[in-house]
A and B are shown apart, each in its own frame.
Chain A
Amino acid sequence: MIEVSSGLQVQLQYQRGDFALDVDIYVPSRGITALFGPSGAGKTTCLRAIAGLDPDIEGRITFAGDIWQDSSTRRIVPTHRRRIGYVFQEASLFPHLSVSGNLGYGQRRAAGNKPVDREALLKQFGVDHLLARKVDRLSGGERQRVAIVRALLSDPVLLLLDEPLSALDAPARSELLGCLEQLHAELGIPTIYVSHAIDEVARLADHLVVMEAGRVLSQGSLQATLASGELPLAMSDQLGVVIEGQVIAQDPVDHLIELAFEGGRLWLPQRAERVGDRLRCRIGARDVVLGTSPPAAGSSALNVVQAVVVGIIDAAHPSQCIVRLDVHGTALLASITRRSWRSLALAPGSRVWAQVKATALGS
C-alpha cells in the first residue's frame, strides 16, 4: 500500500496461540473510523498496538508522517510520547484520585499546543457537578463520561475509544451516545471507535473497517462499506445501509417526517427532528421487501422506491440471500429467501419495487 503522510497507517502481524492478526488499516485524518466486527476479531489488539501498549506486536505504524513503530528497524515510540487519548471498555479511572484529580492528570501532562476549553467540555459531558466526587461514588455512565473528558483534556492527536458503551445500561448508553454524536461534529482529531454494535457504528462513524478473525474484511467510507454487504457471516443479521439526508417536511398529525436523500424520499417516525435538520437513517436488509410490480393499493407500506438489482450475496442461512440494489445512486440491501429470488426471476439489472421500513438514527 502507498504510504500517505496524513492519517494513520497501521500494518500489523502477530501470532499468539491460535490467534493470528494480519491487518493493513488506513485511518483518515478526519472523522470517526469504526473498527467493527464480532468479538475475537482482533479489534482491541489493533487498538492497543496503535497506542503502543503491546510492543510485542510486529508491524509498522505511522501517524501524520511520524513513525510510531517500525519493527524492521526496531523503532518504537513509547505510549506516553504518542499523545493519544485512550478510553477503555470498562471504567479505568484512578481510584486514588477524585474526579477532578483524574481530569487534571492528563491535562497537567498535556503538551499544551492548543488550549482546551475545559469548562465547555465539562458541561458538554455533564461532569461539571461531579468534580469533588470520589470515583467509587460515580455511576457507570458518569465514570465513562469522566474517562472521555480526561482523555480529551490531555490534548491528544488521536482518540481511541474501545467499546466505551458496552458496559453501560440502556439509558446511560443512549445518553453517552448522544454526547459522542455531538462531540463528533466538533472534534478536530481523528478518532478510532471499536464496536460490535451496528447502531453505534451507523450513528457515529464516517469510515468503517470491518474485521473478522484477525483480518480486515473490507474498509472504506461507512456508506460504501455497509452497502458492499461484506460483514462477517455471524453478523449478517446486522446487514443494512445508512442513508444520510435532510428533513424536508413534517406531518404533525401522523408524527412523521419526510427525508430527502440522493435517491429519493422516505417517511420516518418523527422524534425531535425539525425541517432542515440533516439526519442519518438506517435501513436494515430485513426491513426491505421486494416486488416486481408496484405494491397493490391495499399495502400498508409507506415507503416504496424503485430500484435496480445490482447483485446477490450469500446470507448466514442457506435459505436466504442478500440482494444489492441501486436506488438512483443510493445503495440498498434487501434480505429475501432464495425461493423468492427464483420465483421473481430476479437477476442483475432487474427493475424492482422496494418497500422500505426506515428508522432514524440519533436522539
Chain B
Amino acid sequence: MAGLSAEDWTAFALTMRLAATVTVLLLLLGTPLAWWLARGRTAWRRPVSALVTLPLVLPPTVLGFYLLLLLGPHGAVGRLTTALGLGTLPFTFAGLVVASMLYSLPFVVQPLQNAFEAIGQRPFDVAASLGAGPLDRFFSVALPLAWPGFLTAVVLGFAHTIGEFGVVLMIGGNIPGQTRVLSMRIYDHVEAGEYLQAHALSLYLLAFSFAALLAMHLLRPRSADRP
C-alpha cells in the first residue's frame, strides 16, 4: 500500500491484531450467550438481552468513561487486577481488548441470536428423535444451520472494532504500538493538518469496510436473506 508511513503501518497492524483478537474472543463468549438468549426459558433473558444491546445506543464515550472508572486504579475491577499483580488495564492493549469486546458485543451476539432463533424448534425435535443429545444437537444442527449468522457476526464484529474511536479515546489513549489504532491515527493526521495522509488511511478503511460487507452479502445463502 502506497502513501503510508511506518507509523501508519504500526497503527494498521495493531488495529488488525485488536480486531482479530476481539472477534475470536467474542465468538467464544457470544455463541453460548446468543444460544442462551435465543433458546433459554428463564425470565432473565429480557434484561440480559437489553444489557447486551446497550452499546448500540450508548455514546462510546459514556461506555469508555465508565470503563475508565471501573478498570482504573480506584475502580472495583482495577483494584482486583492490581491485587492479582496484573496492573491496571486502561492505556494497555489488554484494556483496549476488554473495552472493544463490550462495545462490539451486540454486533456479534445479535446476528447469532437471530440465526439461532430462525432455526425454530423442529430441527432440534427431529435430531432428538434420531438419538442426538443436547451437545450433539448444538454441533450437528445449530452450528451448520446458523452459519450465515456466524458470517455476519464475524464481519460486523471485526469491522465494528476497526471503526471504533470514542472508547479507544477514553480508555486506550494514543500510545504507538500499544493503543494507537487506525481511527486514532486518522484523527492525529487531521489535527496536524496532514489531510493527504488522513485521506489515504480513510480511503483504505472505507474500501475495507465495503469489501467486507459485500463479501458477507455475497456469501450469504439467498434463503437466509431474512433479517
A88 interface residue (CB < 8 Å to B):
yes
B131 touches A110 (CB 8 A): yes
Q: Chain B: which residue is nearest A83 at the CB level? A: B131
Q: Which of A52, A53, A106 is in CB contact (< 8 Å) with B130?
A: A106
B32 interface residue (CB < 8 Å to A):
no
Q: Which stretch (A91-99, A173-181, A280-288) binds chain B?
A: A91-99
Q: Mark A80-108, 1 if CB is under 8 A from B, else 0.
A: 10011110100010111000000001100
B123 cross-chain contacts in A, Cβ below 8 A:
92, 94
B133 interface residue (CB < 8 Å to A):
yes
B140 touches A78 (CB 8 A): no
Q: Chain B: which residue is nearest A92 at the CB level? A: B126
Most chain A CB within 10 A, of B132, B136, B144, is at: B132
Q: How many A-B residue pairs have C-beta atoms within 8 angstroms? Tell me.
A: 59
* B: contact size bracket: 10 to 19
B128 touches A53 (CB 8 A): yes
How far is the CB of B193 from the nearest CB of chain A, in Å?
A: 55
A105 touches B128 (CB 8 A): no
A29 interface residue (CB < 8 Å to B):
no
B54 interface residue (CB < 8 Å to A):
no
A86 touches B129 (CB 8 A): yes
A51 cross-chain contacts in B, Cβ below 8 A:
125, 129
**A109 with B122, Cβ < 8 A, contacts A95-B145, A96-B145 known:** no
How far is the CB of B176 from the nearest CB of chain A, in Å?
A: 46
- Could you tell me the distance between the alpha carbons of A151 and B136 in the complex, rounded to whole angstroms? 18
B127 cross-chain contacts in A, Cβ below 8 A:
80, 94, 105
- Could you tell me the distance between the alpha carbons of A192 and B133 in the complex, rounded to whole angstroms? 23
- Could you tell me the distance between the alpha carbons of A85 and B128 in the complex, rounded to whole angstroms? 10
- Could you tell me the distance between the alpha carbons of A20 and B122 in the complex, rounded to whole angstroms? 24
Most chain A CB within 10 A, of B123, B126, B145, is at: B126
How far is the CB of A223 from the nearest CB of chain B, in Å?
A: 31
- Could you tell me the distance between the alpha carbons of A78 and B134 in the complex, rounded to whole angstroms? 10
Q: Which of A52, A86, A96 is in CB contact (< 8 Å) with B126?
A: A86
Q: Which of A80, A83, A110 is in CB contact (< 8 Å) with B133?
A: A80
B141 interface residue (CB < 8 Å to A):
yes
Q: Which residues of chain A in 50-86 are interfacial with respect to chain B, using CB atoms and an 8 Å cutoff? A: 51-53, 78-80, 83-86
- Could you tell me the distance between the alpha carbons of A154 and B131 in the complex, rounded to whole angstroms? 8
A79 cross-chain contacts in B, Cβ below 8 A:
125, 128-129
A86 cross-chain contacts in B, Cβ below 8 A:
125-126, 129
Main secondary structure, interface of A, reads loop
Q: Chain B: which residue is nearest A86 at the CB level? A: B129
Q: Which of B133, B140, B145 is in CB contact (< 8 Å) with A105?
A: B140
Q: Chain A: which residue is nearest B143 at the CB level? A: A96
- Could you tell me the distance between the alpha carbons of A154 and B127 in the complex, rounded to whole angstroms? 11
A96 cross-chain contacts in B, Cβ below 8 A:
144-145
A143 interface residue (CB < 8 Å to B):
no
Most chain A CB within 10 A, of B126, B131, B141, B145, is at: B131
Q: Chain B: which residue is nearest A150 at the CB level? A: B130
Q: Which of A52, A80, A88, A92 is in CB contact (< 8 Å) with B131?
A: A80
- Could you tell me the distance between the alpha carbons of A53 and B127 in the complex, rounded to whole angstroms? 11
Q: Chain A: which residue is nearest B137 at the CB level? A: A80
- Could you tell me the distance between the alpha carbons of A52 and B133 in the complex, rounded to whole angstroms? 13
A106 cross-chain contacts in B, Cβ below 8 A:
130-131
Q: Which of B122, B129, B136 is in CB contact (< 8 Å) with A84?
A: B129
How far is the CB of A114 from the nearest CB of chain B, in Å?
A: 15
User: What 9 additional pairs, Cβ within 8 angstroms, besides A80-B132, A106-B131?
Assistant: A79-B125, A80-B129, A83-B131, A92-B126, A94-B123, A94-B126, A106-B130, A111-B131, A154-B131
A-B contact pairs, 24 of them (CB 8 A): A51-B129, A53-B125, A78-B128, A79-B128, A80-B127, A80-B130, A80-B131, A80-B136, A86-B126, A86-B129, A88-B126, A94-B127, A95-B145, A96-B144, A96-B145, A105-B132, A105-B140, A106-B130, A106-B131, A109-B132, A109-B136, A150-B130, A151-B129, A154-B131
Residues of A within 8 A of B (CB): 51-53, 78-80, 83-86, 88, 92, 94-96, 105-106, 109-111, 150-151, 154, 160
Which 5 residue pairs of A and B lie closest in terms of their CB atoms, listed nearest first? A109-B131, A106-B130, A86-B129, A79-B128, A96-B144
